[in-house]
Structure 1
């Protein structure tokens, strides 16, 4: 009788252990699968969603417009290095180039990260089928390139004032219509710095 009870107890224990092992394996597998799947579902789609949707059409238009606009300002500033007579004009031109070169790189980086095309080097004032405010015509650029000395300084500042006014107009549009905060911040910097440069050039021209 004792032997029989012992045998029954042993069999029951083995069965209980086997059942527990099955339950644990099932739970463990289910938890692992659910946890892994849950992680995949939440992490993967959210990454591109957070990378996108930060910019809108106004931000793209701002970047695509400001790149060729800045490039022309840099081209004008480079002419001043050899053609300007005034030290003040040369200094101003160097500051314009120093400020706008990095902005071109930043704007290009944004467009690339957004999956947008960066304007080509030869993109002109007719960018996107619309004349950009303040851009010099090829004739004006040719006239500037052929001038030197005091005449160059006067032409350079008169043209750059017009050019800056156009950039400020574009920057104000970005501030009111854009969604991408870094672009709106850059627009604010452009408005502040170029407004100050316009005032400076007007004083040098003796018109303020």
Structure 2
């Protein structure tokens, strides 16, 4: 299975699995909220995805060998910081813990601590290739996950934020060098 079909299955598994995990291990949104399990799962995934991608992009000024990679990564940082602030605010409004429920999971688009460690030890050429591949995968998965939130989420602010996250993922894909 490839392409959109695989993306749809991944979203369904991630969002379906997270909803169950959230109900069992994390506080449920309060009764006055409009958050459904898709909103919760999306926030619990996209917040750490964005934080980890931001950490990777911040390594570029000192580690990148190419000016194009340095420039592209730098162009990712400020918009990602703004999105992360908004994502964290909505997560907090939902009453969700700040912990990463996906820590240790290897998922599409998720830059892991092992990836960050490799970036810190790669030479300039290896760093450039790895960073661009990681940021491209991250940006593409943001778009896929945002579509799932927009289609199935209940909270209007979260769905609107998903539209902004999708637009940022598309922008990042365009600006990253091949």
TM-score bucket of the superposed structures, by smaller chain:
0.7 to 0.9
Matched, 1:154 2:137: no
Matched, 1:193 2:168: yes
- Choose 136-145 or 175-184, whichever is displaced more: 136-145
- Deviation (angstroms), 1:123: 5.9
- Deviation (angstroms), 1:75: 0.9
Rounded Cα–Cα distance in structure 1 between residues aligned with 2:157 and 2:146: 12
Would the aligned equivalents of 1:56 and 1:179 in 2 still touch at CA under 8 Å?
yes
Rounded Cα–Cα distance in structure 2 between residues aligned with 1:170 and 1:67: 12
- Deviation (angstroms), 1:137: 4.1
Residue by residue over 1:4-30, the C-alpha shift from the partner in whole angstroms, topping out at 9 and shown as x without a partner, is: xxxxxxxxxxxxxxxxxxxxxxxxxxx
TM-score of the two chains, using structure 2 as the length reference = 0.72
Rounded Cα–Cα distance in structure 2 between residues aligned with 1:180 and 1:191: 17
Q: Between Structure 1 and Structure 2, whose CA radius of gyration is higher?
A: 1
Would the aligned equivalents of 1:73 and 1:163 in 2 still touch at CA under 8 Å?
yes
- Residue of structure 2 equivalent to 1:89: 69
- Residue of structure 1 equivalent to 2:60: 80
Q: Which has the higher contact order (CA 8 A, sep 6+)?
A: 2
- Choose 191-200 or 68-77, whichever is displaced more: 191-200
Matched, 1:53 2:33: yes
TM-score of the two chains, using structure 1 as the length reference = 0.63
- Residue of structure 1 equivalent to 2:159: 184
- Residue of structure 2 equivalent to 1:66: 46
Rounded Cα–Cα distance in structure 2 between residues aligned with 1:123 and 1:96: 23
- Residue of structure 2 equivalent to 1:109: 89
- Residue of structure 1 equivalent to 2:99: 119
Residue by residue over 1:50-80, the C-alpha shift from the partner in whole angstroms, topping out at 9 and shown as x without a partner, is: xx23222211111111111011101101111
Return closer, same or farther for 1:148/1:138 CA change in 2, 3 Å cut-off. same
> Structure 2: which 5+ residue stretches go unaligned?
1-29
